[in-house]
Structure 1
Amino acid sequence: MKRQTQLKASLVLALTLLLYGYNLYAAIDTLPHKKGFPVISREAAPTTAESAALAHYAMGIVYENEGKIDEAIGEYKEALRQDYESSFIHTRIATGYLLKNEHKKAVNHLKLAKRFNPDNTKPRILLALIYTSQKEFTEAACEYEEIIKLNPGSMEALTSLADLYVMQEKMEEAAGVYEKLLEKEKDRNPPLHFNLALIYSRLGRVDSAVEELKTVIRLRPDYIEAYLALGLLYEMKEETETAIGYYEEALRVDPLNKKIYRHLGSIYYKQKNVEEAIRQHRFFIKIDPADVSGYLELAYIYMSEQRHDKAAEALGEAEALGLENERLFLAFGFVKSAQKEHDEAASYYTRALSYNPENAQLHFYLGAAYERGGKRAEAIAEFRKSIKLNPKYADACNYLGYMFAEDGTNLDEAVSLIEKALEFDPDNGAYIDSLGWAYFKKGMMDEALAELERAARLVDDDPIVYDHLGETYYKMGEIDKARKAWKRSLELDPKQELVKEKLKKKQ
């Protein structure tokens, strides 16, 4: 459940308890004398002021039960005129304002309720909930800390305070609160041990986290999340076989839990046990064929193993079932690009963009597919869209700049674009090569040579860099250096026919 939903549910619960948790006489009989509503015995004859206050208060309850919140607040305010220092009535008015979503007015009355009766925890609970819903976590924590001082055994306040510390990334404080809670609830509350384990793991106290999770399993052997967490922690400790053991224990508890097969698939792939990883992901798909992530993870394994056809088959299974979303079409685009089916790749990227048309990265991928498919005008348009959506997208700036340099067009813009890319990634050898090549095309040989030699130092395994370096040396009359650079380029990629021709012709 999302945190926002939990907060809303807590607020509603608190209001329900405050609004409807008492009958009228029970509420009156239990109010603190002089700090809340005046204590009135059912046998005693009330004063005129008390009678008037009771009448207005009772009428407020009636209106509240009928959902007439404005009228209820009006009656409570009339009751308040008889006793302005009534913490209870201020709290009732505050709950009315909360139901109207007027938090500022509610907070004002709750602060008054707290001032007139500092020992009353109800206003503090509501204030803490309001502050939390408004992400004012420090103020909320202060309220819970005061509640705990008044009622050290309040489990609700302690757990809420721990949650707030977690949201504030105050993990040491959160751990301290959970440790206090477990002093009261030791060996009776597995979720508390589980939460403390998560906090310990965030603090890097992995061994302590493991011990807490083992306690969870001892107390509740079917606590599936504890097995999964132990598996992950042992993965972090690089104790792979132990991790697998806990995942398999989890399967004995819940053999149809697809998450476990995902974890096993991942860990087997890290072990380079490819076929077993594939088998685990197949189990995932069998359990939930409508979950596209199973097909995506299977395709990822096939792509990593250069089995592009099998990756396409896996994604095709999802598409055949009518599963369509941005991630599926993006993955299909990657696979088709790897298969050099650039028109199909562009088609899938276009379909992905229909789900997220303002995504700069998708426009970049589409531009790359167009460029590789020979559709340069379309590619330029997509790269420009990508840069417009994200002016700091270095790859898009470099790709477009390099395209212009290759074509010998818009060379000033090419230099500007590549320099912009280098602002964000100044030691990127590919970008530096692009800049050197743009200078070469502009006839700026000294600048070109300086950048290309720097690129070669940074990326010594890129055949294109050495081809560009060879061209520059040749243009500057350094024939021996040119031939040496081209030979290095061919060593890195022997299939370059154009470079072979240069070595033959340019003696």
Structure 2
Amino acid sequence: MIRGEFSSNDLKAYLAEGEWEKVIDICQKAIALDPNAINFYPYLAKAYAEQGQLAAAITTYKKTLGTKINQAEVYAELGLLYSRQKNLEQAAWHYEQALSLKSDWGELFYNLGIVYHQLGNWDKAITAYTRSGQINPNYSAAYFNLGVLYEQKGESEKAIASYQQVIKIDPTFIRAYSNLGSVYAKQQEYTKAIATFKAGIRLDPTWATLHNNLGQVYCFNEQPGDALNSFEMAITLDPTMALAHHNLGKLWQQQGNYPQAIKCIERVIELEPHNVLAYSNCGQLQQKMGDLAAVMAQWRKIIEQESDFIDAYCEKRLSCKPEDLLETAKVNCALFLQALKHEEITQAYNYLSLAYAYMGDVLFEFGGISQAQMYYQMALDIKPQEVELYLKLGNIFAKQQRLDAAIATYQIGLTFEPEHPQICFQLGKVLERTQNAEQAINYYEAVLNQQIDRTGQWQNLPNLFTVEENLALLPQKIYHYTQDWARDSQLTDFNYTQVLWDDNHNSTITGTIKGSREAEIIQPKIPGKSSYPECGGVNCVSCTTKLLKHFQPQQIGKNVYQCNLHTTPPVKSRLPFVATIPRGKTWIAPQKNSWIITNAIAVITPDNYLLGDVSRYYPWFLPGCPYQEKTDHRIYELETIPPLEKIKGRVALLSGLAGHVYYHWMFDILPRLELIQRSGIKLEEIDWFIVNSLSKNYQKETLELLNIPTAKIIESDRTSYIQAEELIVPSFPGYMDWIPQGTMKFLRQTFLTQISLSQRNDLKRIYISRERAKNRQLVNESQVNELLTKHGFQTIFLEEMSVLEQVATFANADVIVAPHGSGLTNLVFCSPNTKVVELFSPNYVRTDYLMISQQLNLQHYYLIGRNFDCSSLRNLMYQNPLTEDIWVDITALKLVLQHLAQIPATY
């Protein structure tokens, strides 16, 4: 007994002094003498933990479970140890056990909140922090972390309230001033932000973060002098603060001082050698300075650090032979990336020049004149003696009516090849346009005096100027709304019928326009110049952001969102209609290849007016766009007008923009057949139906299911300019890329009823792969597949299925995971409460399918993938955000699956 008391006293002394070896020795000896000496186990576990022997500490604590030792404290200690091991799931579970035994333990709720925060489970973290604050109202750290979470979730007002509560509890909590000021800055409340940061600086003038943040707000508030002083003060206080160097560099860049900006960003790279964004920014600045060798060095560093992304891109592009210009551009991009990775600099320059040139060709053909100009100029920076590039760049300037620039560019090309026939010919055309007839004749004669055998180059030579005779044949005025033309028309043999489509049309109808709406004069735009530079059409970031807000996405973890679909977005639509137009004409831009799809449709009346609401063209517009009434059209950009095909009988126009894409075929084209029927016209009384194409199996299958004979089909890809004896023009059922309720009902009633019991299957959890698509694939699909397969998901390829098989698959599914793409069109066939997880790239988040989930009562989540931070390389690899591949954060995917209770937590 005396010996035991002596050992106990020694133990307490050693514990107080931190003599952990001696604590371990005493405890081990005591336990060896008496294995039931349970009171020594907590001391032994604590000593192991202090020595960093976490596994031994955990094993020791577990031996006290179910004993007289305070069980809440044991579970709490185990939670802490698992947290130190980064085994966060186990940590959370043990903290929960402790709190089930002691529910008023505020500090432990705080610890639990930290763990859930690290796990990305923000909802549970908020619950834990909130409970901690309720138990201990003066626990400033809990309110601070709540503010951080609300800020991350985008709930600014709650974040502000939390930070203000921190300051109320502890006015010296300096980090709360920093975060509160940052929230004000995000809300563009710059005066409040500046005041908050200054209040923090008064408390601690030596904290560099506050000076840096103040500098950022000065930048936002267009106070560059004050911003400069703040950034320099931050760097003086903390020379290793990379963010301050970065911000100072951006400020110098804004001021046009590129050498100073480069110095700042190079300092960032010294401090953070794995900062991809810094290498990217530095490369962009060096590119502006014309230092291509330095740019290549920065890009090579990025390629090293993003090797998984780059290798996956190269493997895909080099695995098959290119079939068109775009694929050829991507192959050369991949070859460039590989050459630069292996420091084969000469080859890298060559491949980069080719990639730029081919991308310029792609964009020129697509109509992206300004972007093509940029790529040609970058190609010339690498190969300034490449004569063909001067020809192509001169052509762009001529089309933009920048005639002096075109002349100068052509003449530079001729210094390398003085008798280049195509340059001489194009230069003659431009000089003729500028009234320099004598010089033009000289260049034409230079062409005629040559033995020319490059016929292919002549065939591809673009017309520089619109042929006036062509323009004279086209409408000079536009009616924005067909009903206005119907009101004013002097014809007697036309018809205009409005069709009820959505259930809410009675309350939101905007179809009747009061007063007179006259036709407007058409104003064709200059190629390469947008008539509406503030709007990106269906890809407009501003309009998309506004639409997304209607679905109230709540961030439940890092890059994981859950949509609130209880409220219908307040988007008003016009009533659809069907117009029958005698001797009506239509032009539908044919698909030329995988990237030049049907990008315009024009409907022209017999009295030569363009009907705006049925004459769509890319990029068109989204709901809420302020530029819905267009006064130009792509038909005025045609180099030559195709021959007019006159068709006898009644002809229904169904073709739509991108009608070769499953999404647009199902949502924009097929519903127009129902509109025709609802207008009182019987389909069997129609002689011809114009659709984009019958090249896809789903096009043939769906038309057959709708009893439209193939023999009655006219493919607008083959016959693009048509005049019908009677042209039946159904309007589009709704806004582009915004699916109306009536469209969903029509598709469900049409196709769900045709599924037989034999077509139903047992696929309850499905992952839709885009492995066989041309773009927007998953970079790390093998990892995604591995995770999903473990939890009962089956990977499917919709390309292998008939339409009805796809309908059945989606109708039966409980959970659907898929990258954003046309495959999700089939969500329209889902049953209520189906769970949907949509995968996006960070630069292409869309609302296309959220309306379906809202109308059909689906549970819709979306996950935003990892960003590739070098915009210069990303823009070379992908011609636009729509085509970007997706890198899925596996931790985020696990979180959303757990949130859906598909993966129960097990420990």
Aligned residues of 2:167 and 2:176 also touching (Cα < 8 A): yes
* Cα 1:484/1:282, change in 2 over 3 Å: farther
Aligned residue in 2 for 1:453: 358
1:267 aligns with 2:183: yes
Aligned residue in 1 for 2:62: 145
| d(CA) in 2 for partners of 1:500, 1:152 | 91
C-alpha displacement of 1:145: 0.8
| d(CA) in 1 for partners of 2:64, 2:348 | 76
- After superposition, the C-alpha distances for 1:417-476 in whole angstroms (9 at most, x for unaligned) are xx99955975999x9499499999879989843564258869975854232457889946
Which structure is higher in strand share?
Answer: 2
1:166 aligns with 2:76: no
- After superposition, the C-alpha distances for 1:308-331 in whole angstroms (9 at most, x for unaligned) are 444213224446xx5241224554
| d(CA) in 2 for partners of 1:421, 1:485 | 34
- Structure 2 counterparts to residues 21-420 of structure 1, below 5 A: 27-28=2-3, 30=5, 98=21, 114-121=31-38, 124-125=41-42, 127-129=44-46, 131-133=48-50, 135-187=52-104, 189-203=105-119, 206-303=122-219, 308-318=224-234, 323-327=237-241, 328-329=244-245, 331-345=247-261, 359=273, 393-394=301-302
TM-score, normalised with respect to structure 2: 0.34
| d(CA) in 2 for partners of 1:253, 1:179 | 27
- After superposition, the C-alpha distances for 1:127-168 in whole angstroms (9 at most, x for unaligned) are 534543565533321211112333341554332211012233
Aligned residue in 2 for 1:465: 375
Which structure is higher in helix share?
Answer: 1
The one-letter code sitting in structure 2 at the alignment partner of 1:326 is T
- After superposition, the C-alpha distances for 1:47-77 in whole angstroms (9 at most, x for unaligned) are xxxxxxxxxxx9xx8xx99x9xxxxxxxxxx
* Cα 1:163/1:420, change in 2 over 3 Å: closer
The one-letter code sitting in structure 1 at the alignment partner of 2:227 is A
* Cα 1:465/1:373, change in 2 over 3 Å: closer
Aligned residues of 1:343 and 1:369 also touching (Cα < 8 A): no
The one-letter code sitting in structure 2 at the alignment partner of 1:28 is R
* Cα 1:364/1:185, change in 2 over 3 Å: closer
The one-letter code sitting in structure 2 at the alignment partner of 1:314 is S
The one-letter code sitting in structure 2 at the alignment partner of 1:137 is L
Aligned residues of 1:466 and 1:485 also touching (Cα < 8 A): no
Identity of aligned residues (%): 19
* 3-state DSSP of counterpart to 1:147: coil
Answer with 462-471 or 368-377: which moved more: 368-377
Pairs aligned (count):
383
Aligned residue in 2 for 1:11: none
* 3-state DSSP of counterpart to 1:256: coil
* Cα 1:466/1:455, change in 2 over 3 Å: closer
| d(CA) in 2 for partners of 1:501, 1:307 | 41
C-alpha displacement of 1:393: 1.7
* Cα 1:334/1:227, change in 2 over 3 Å: same
C-alpha displacement of 1:244: 1.9
Structure 1: gaps (5+ residues): 1-25, 38-57, 68-90, 399-418
TM-score, normalised with respect to structure 1: 0.56
Answer with 309-318 or 258-267: which moved more: 309-318
Structure 2: gaps (5+ residues): 318-328, 414-422, 424-907
| d(CA) in 2 for partners of 1:256, 1:250 | 9
| d(CA) in 1 for partners of 2:129, 2:152 | 15
Aligned residue in 2 for 1:502: 409
Aligned residues of 1:292 and 1:323 also touching (Cα < 8 A): yes
Aligned residues of 1:295 and 1:318 also touching (Cα < 8 A): yes
Aligned residues of 2:363 and 2:372 also touching (Cα < 8 A): no
C-alpha displacement of 1:241: 1.9
* Cα 1:122/1:299, change in 2 over 3 Å: same
Q: Which has the higher contact order (CA 8 A, sep 6+)?
A: 2
The one-letter code sitting in structure 2 at the alignment partner of 1:181 is A
C-alpha displacement of 1:288: 1.6
Aligned residues of 1:449 and 1:469 also touching (Cα < 8 A): yes
C-alpha displacement of 1:255: 3.0
Aligned residue in 2 for 1:70: none
| d(CA) in 1 for partners of 2:309, 2:91 | 43
| d(CA) in 1 for partners of 2:133, 2:261 | 48
Aligned residues of 2:178 and 2:209 also touching (Cα < 8 A): no
* 3-state DSSP of counterpart to 1:283: helix
